Amino acid sequence: MFDSLLFDLMLVILIGMLSQWIAWKYRMPAIVVMALAGLLVGPVFGLINPQESMGDLFGPIITFAVAIILFEGSLNLDVREIKGFSKPVGRIVTIGAFIAWIAGSLAAHYLAGLSWEVAFIIGGLFIVTGPTVILPLLRQARLKPRPAAILKWEGIVVDPFGALLAVFAFEFIKFINAEVTLKSLLLFFAASAFAVLLGWFAALFIGNSFERGSIPEFLKAPILFVVVLFTFVFADEIMHETGLLAVTAMGMKMANMRLTTLADVRHFKENISVLLISGIFVMLTASLDPKILIEIFNPAIMLYVAAMLFVVRPLSIWISTIGTDLNVREKLLIGWIAPRGIVALTVSGYFAGILLENGYKDAELLTALTFALVLSTVVLHGFSIGFIAKKLNLTTTDESGVAIIGGTRFAAELAQSIKDTGNEVLLIDQSWAALADARRRGVDSYIGDILSEQIEYHIDLTPYRYMLAMTKTDLYNAHICADFEPDLGRDHLFQTAFHVGKDVEAFTVVGGQTLFSPSISIYSLEERMHAGHVIRKTLITKQYSYTQYLRERDDKSILLYLLRADGSIEFFTPNVELQANAGDAVLALSSPAKTIERVKERLEGENGDSDIPYEKLEELFTEDSSEGKRDIPGEAPKSNGNSK
């Protein structure tokens, strides 16, 4: 359309971001949307061809993008995160990866017709199962914790090493073919060791600089960006292809330095990485030759993809997990789910150019082969994971776990009441101090931003069916609900009522459902907590109906949620009228006056003393409520006219 490099760059970035948004909006794998968009503007309609328009810049841009993507992935390799299931993960990422490499290489040679050299290189690359595609699938399927955790951490751990294995395979093959001497091969390994040390020292330098406050906040992201690129280029100039190893080592070191300022680089990781991933993926697909695109339907390539799906992956998982505590159902699921993602496609394009330069003509098929495998695995695994997980009874759809966003006294009290019902609960806030009440009550908590893309690298959200946005920033609550709507559905997203102050006239943001009945802001809830209000649990029986409860309850009480007889939870909202049956329980935030009356009625029934000073009751009640005690006398309602 326009013969302009500037236009091509703008269009690539625009299409990439639009694809990400469409994928989020309609709950589709982003890689599929980006692939289709790149194919439409590139080979199909011929609007752009980034490789032609960028010329010599195309290769360095791809190379830099791969370095940053690998650094971003390795920055999540915190060894603390795999405690408890380290044995199966360790087996899968070592023995399983080796088996997948050898079996995949054999399939590439005998089925796809690639030379041994190219087959072993691409076989090493295809061991990856990227977290950028596996995490959305896990959210969609809501797997049980163990298989979900194994799949997630396999993707994170193996992702950076697929490219490195391909590099080592490339150098070793050159040695076998006498293209390099043993001295050159040893020099390569020495240079690789130097790259690891370089990445290690770079991580120490930048990490300690962050910790000491030597770098101001506004310079942290750009300086980290520069250091990553410098580390990559410096190592690569000393020995080609070792730059990837250097940035991976840098990321792994930073991930395990226990940096308190690691959260400060999240904007770098999320904004830069998402932008590059989107743009680079569109560039690669838009630059495909139509002939290569047609080559995807080559019977040999299709046979290779089928072998990778139904033979190589299951074989590597079953053999590598012998002797672990994984059951047959878990092995079946893990052996099927292995979507390849953006790293596989970007790195394969990177190696295709290198191999072609070294005279390997069959490397022309690498992009088509990779694209066929990526698209097949993402589509097939994306549409089948939920169905297969349900059939294998590996889903958590029947649980009523609750994730509460916002660390307040009321939130901690609500979380403890949910925990007491036997349901999973997690309290999340960006402030350590805000979670003090939760820690004191023994409620699980996490310090971080729920809107961070990296949140799922650190905590498993699959057990939580409901999400309650209860921070003191109304717009932030609305954004949380909007962001998680594609994953949880609006029926499972709630937020506290908007706080309308004297300087605020109206809000127009539509978020989740408004919490509680009647609706109330988190500010008002906090005021009530400080005034002595407590969460009371009332059992509904045949003698004491829900209608009677509503008639007799305190007018100032706030209905919070219903605890069904089967242990599930349903939250009250102003717009939906819930009905409770015998065996259910109502949990409400009740005023101290009503609670004191209940206490007095019970004590009078037990002692026959009607002259208990009201002030004494109030004093005792205040002491109990300040300590977080909710099991107070009079908690259970009178069911048959006799109160104990």
Digit-coded pLDDT (tens) for 179-203: 667 777 788 788 888 998 999 999 9
Q: Which two tokens stand for residue 259?
A: 């940096």
Pick 595 or 63 by higher pLDDT. 63
d(CA 199, CA 77): 15
Q: Which two tokens stand for residue 132?
A: 């950028």
Pick 242 or 502 by higher pLDDT. 242
Give the residue-averaged pLDDT of 373-386: 84
Q: Which two tokens stand for residue 636?
A: 């259970």
d(CA 405, CA 418): 14
Q: Which two tokens stand for residue 551?
A: 């008639």
Q: Which residues of 65-78 are buried (b: 16+ CB within 10 A; e: fewer)?
A: bbbbbbbbbbbbbb
Q: Which two tokens stand for residue 324?
A: 């672990």
Task: Write down the pLDDT at residue 502.
Answer: 40
d(CA 135, CA 351): 26
Q: Which two tokens stand for residue 102?
A: 């050898």
Task: Write down the pLDDT at residue 367.
Answer: 79
Give residue 227's region: left, alpha or beta (phi > 0; psi -120 to 50). Answer: alpha
Q: Which amino acid is at 348?
A: S
Residue 259 burial (CB count, 10 A): 17
Give the residue-averaged pLDDT of 133-139: 71
CATH class of 5-391: mainly alpha
Is it the case that residue 312 has pLDDT exceeding 80?
yes
d(CA 459, CA 111): 40
CB 553 within 8 A of CB 518: no
Q: Which amino acid is at 256?
A: N
CB 604 within 8 A of CB 644: no
Instruction: Annotate 416-440 with DSSP letters as a single string.
Output: HHHHHTT--EEEEES-TGGGHHHHH
User: Which class for 529: exposed (0-12), middle (13-18), buried (19 or more C-beta within 10 A)?
Assistant: buried
Give the residue-averaged pLDDT of 205-210: 88
Q: Which amino acid is at 541?
A: T
Confidence of residue 429 (pLDDT cuts 50, 70, 90): very high
Give the residue-averaged pLDDT of 315-328: 91
CATH of 401-626, one of 3.40.50.1370, 3.40.50.720, 3.30.420.40, 3.10.20.30: 3.40.50.720
Task: Write down the pLDDT at residue 640.
Answer: 39
d(CA 356, CA 383): 36
Q: Which two tokens stand for residue 493?
A: 């997203």
Give the residue-averaged pLDDT of 72-100: 78
Is it the case that residue 504 has pLDDT exceeding 70?
no
d(CA 53, CA 5): 6
Match 């292809």 to its residue by tokens.
241
Give the residue-averaged pLDDT of 218-247: 84
User: Which class for 309: exposed (0-12), middle (13-18), buried (19 or more C-beta within 10 A)?
Assistant: middle
Residue 94 burial (CB count, 10 A): 13
Is it the case that residue 117 has pLDDT exceeding 70?
yes
Instruction: Annotate 24-35 with DSSP letters as a single string.
Output: HHTT--HHHHHH
Q: Which amino acid is at 263?
A: A
Quickly list H helices, 289-432.
290-295, 299-307, 313-320, 328-336, 342-357, 366-391, 409-420
Host H or E run for residue 575: none
Host H or E run for residue 584: none
Residue partners of 332: CB distance under 8 A and separation at least 6: 388, 392
Q: Compute the 3-state secondary structure of the chain and give helix, strand, coil in percent, each to the nearest 5.
A: 65, 5, 30
Task: Write down the pLDDT at residue 75.
Answer: 75
Pick 393 or 454 by higher pLDDT. 393
d(CA 274, CA 271): 5
Task: Write down the pLDDT at residue 217.
Answer: 74
d(CA 585, CA 569): 10
Task: Write down the pLDDT at residue 626.
Answer: 39
Task: Write down the pLDDT at residue 368.
Answer: 83
Q: Where are the domains of the chain?
A: 5-391, 401-626
Q: What is the DSSP letter of 517?
A: B
Pick 643 or 364 by higher pLDDT. 364
CB 70 within 8 A of CB 343: yes
Q: Compute φ and ψ for 517, nearest 5 degrees.
A: -135, 115
Residue partners of 7: CB distance under 8 A and separation at least 6: 1, 48
Identify the bridge partners of residue 537 per DSSP, sorted by sequence position: 587
